[in-house]
Chain A
Amino acid sequence: MKKMLTTGLLGAALLAGAAQAQDTEQLRIGVDIPYEPMEYRTADGELTGFDIELGNALCEQINAECEWVVQAWDGIIPGLMARKYDAIMSSMTINDERRQTVLFSDAYIQPPSAWFAAADSGIETIYPQSMEGKTIGVQRGTLQDNYVTDNYGDVADISRYTTADDLVLDMDAGRVDIAFLDFPIGKSTLLDSDDGNYVTVGNMISEPKEYFGEGFGIAFRQRDEDLAERFNEALATLQDDGTYDEIYDKYFKTQ
């Protein structure tokens, strides 16, 4: 008797849940902060960033109400599996290892890398010729390191640093002419904190895939194929109607 009652209650609850989902779907999205400018809190504690704004726009597009759940990075995939949230949108690089556990949406951004130099460096364009005899600073073992080594290794000296902070020290000291960094890292260490001494040079670089990877994707549980498909469609719509570009320019426009 008791068992029947429980089953009945559970069934009722499930039905109620399903009914509610008909109106506006409730979705929770996991995110790890801070990683400027992708996801961070403003001074008054509000979540913002490229992922957050794009995520909200996507939710609006698929007619869902989204709630952001802050979760530390090392537990972010287990949290998805444990149903603490339904998707992860947190600058997660798509790769085969993660594909074993989660289902990825299409890539929604290729994380850009950028060249940074002192405002008075005189380097204005990025060609192998303009790099002749220069010292290029990179973080050791990053994809930027691989890209620079293969493309500029013959003409320029490459200094490899363990941390971006060491690299910035040597930029300040004048030992490094130009740095090639993950744009968010370069922005926070060189553009924002060094009152106008540094500028980006040339375009942002996020191709070829062989170096810069498949990009960031939204992660879902494997079985939520429908949900992933709806996000993909929404993303395509936003890319067509200009909303995507608007958000992109807000966070990644250099000048």
Chain B
Amino acid sequence: MEALTTWWTELLGGNAIFTANTLEFYWNGLTTTIQLVFLSLLIGILLAVPLAIGRGSKHPWIRMPIYAYTYVFRGTPLLIQLYLVYYGVVFFEGIQESMFWPIFREAFYPALMAFTLNTAAYTTEIFRGAIKNTAKGEIEAARAYGMSKPLMLRRIVLPSAFRRALPAYGNEVIFMLHASAVASVVTIMDLTGAAYYVYARFYAPFQAFIFVALIYLCLTFSVMFVFRRLERRLLAHLRPREG
């Protein structure tokens, strides 16, 4: 570790802005951003699958509340949702004394909640579109085999819907990564928060923000790479056959 530190210091010799200290800020910001985005996407997708199925239900009292939820969360800016969850909760009487306060006291969990609800709404609509687009023939064939509804959903509809949703969902992941930049307004030191810090400390907007933009670019490239690989594997049947 010490060798690493000396190496850094030598590498950064003479650079006033990117000292080991500010790089640590960026590093902590990077881990915070990744945690925040990864967790919200994970919980979001777990919520979105049942919601997407329910969204296509023929019972209005299942379908309509889900529709209202996705409509509200897709129809309002993420920043506003974040403000509502973070600053709004404190106006509930007695929240400071309740068991939930340790969660809401931190900035991380309100932000995680806002991000999760937001991405779940978009993902629900992406999956619902994919489910709706299942080829009629596949469903007829499943029926002809005498499959029950849940079995048909599990074996036929969902697997092909996931594949169809993959490119759109990859975009959602990237959008979420970029949207997470708003977390810095509620005091979270994510990547953007770290960049703000460096900018304000050294009055160096270009260096601070270009550096953070490069980190976001690298993250985006890795996400794109993973989804490209996934698409190659899972959507192989849609590609023209290679001679």
Contact = CB atoms under 8 A, between A and B. Distances in A.
A82 B51 CA distance: 68
A173 B200 contact: no
A172 B91 CA distance: 10
A128 interface: no
Contact of B90 (A145, A160, A172): A172
Interface in B190-208: 193, 196-197, 199-201
Contacts of B187: 159-161, 170
A160 B199 contact: no
Contact of A173 (B96, B193, B197, B199): B96
B contact residues, range? 10 to 19
Contacts of B189: 160
B87 A141 contact: no
B235 interface: no
Nearest to A138: B187
Contacts of A146: 201
Contact of B193 (A160, A174, A175): A160
A140 B197 contact: yes
B105 interface: yes
Contacts of A169: 87, 90
Interface string B82-99: 000001001000001000
B107 interface: yes
Nearest to A141: B200
A127 to B, nearest CB: 23
A218 to B, nearest CB: 26
Given A159-B187, A173-B96, A141 B90 contact: no
A174 B105 contact: yes
A148 to B, nearest CB: 12
Interface string B120-153: 0000000000000000000000000000000000
B185 interface: yes
A159 B201 contact: no
B208 to A, nearest CB: 11
Contacts of B105: 174-175
Contact of A140 (B96, B107, B196): B196
A160 B185 contact: no
B96 A141 contact: no
B87 A145 contact: no
Contacts of B199: 141
A173 B101 CA distance: 10
A146 B187 CA distance: 15
Contacts of A162: 185
Contacts of B200: 140-142, 145
Interface string A119-147: 00000000000000000000011100110
B197 A160 contact: yes
B98 to A, nearest CB: 12
Contacts of B193: 160
A146 B200 CA distance: 9
Nearest to B187: A159
Interface string B151-174: 000000000000000000000000
Given A159-B187, A169-B87, A173-B90, A141 B107 contact: no
A151 to B, nearest CB: 14
B96 to A, nearest CB: 5
B145 to A, nearest CB: 57
Interface of A: 140-142, 145-146, 159-162, 166, 169-170, 172-175
Given A159-B107, A169-B90, 5 more contacts: A140-B197, A141-B197, A141-B200, A166-B87, A173-B96
Interface of B: 87, 90, 96, 101, 105, 107, 185, 187, 189, 193, 196-197, 199-201
27 contacts: A140-B196, A140-B197, A140-B200, A141-B196, A141-B197, A141-B201, A145-B201, A159-B107, A160-B187, A160-B189, A160-B193, A160-B196, A160-B197, A161-B187, A162-B185, A169-B87, A169-B90, A170-B87, A173-B87, A173-B90, A173-B96, A174-B90, A174-B96, A174-B105, A175-B90, A175-B105, A175-B107
Q: Which 8 pairs from chain A and chain B are nearest by CB?
A: A141-B200, A173-B90, A159-B187, A174-B96, A175-B105, A169-B87, A140-B200, A160-B187
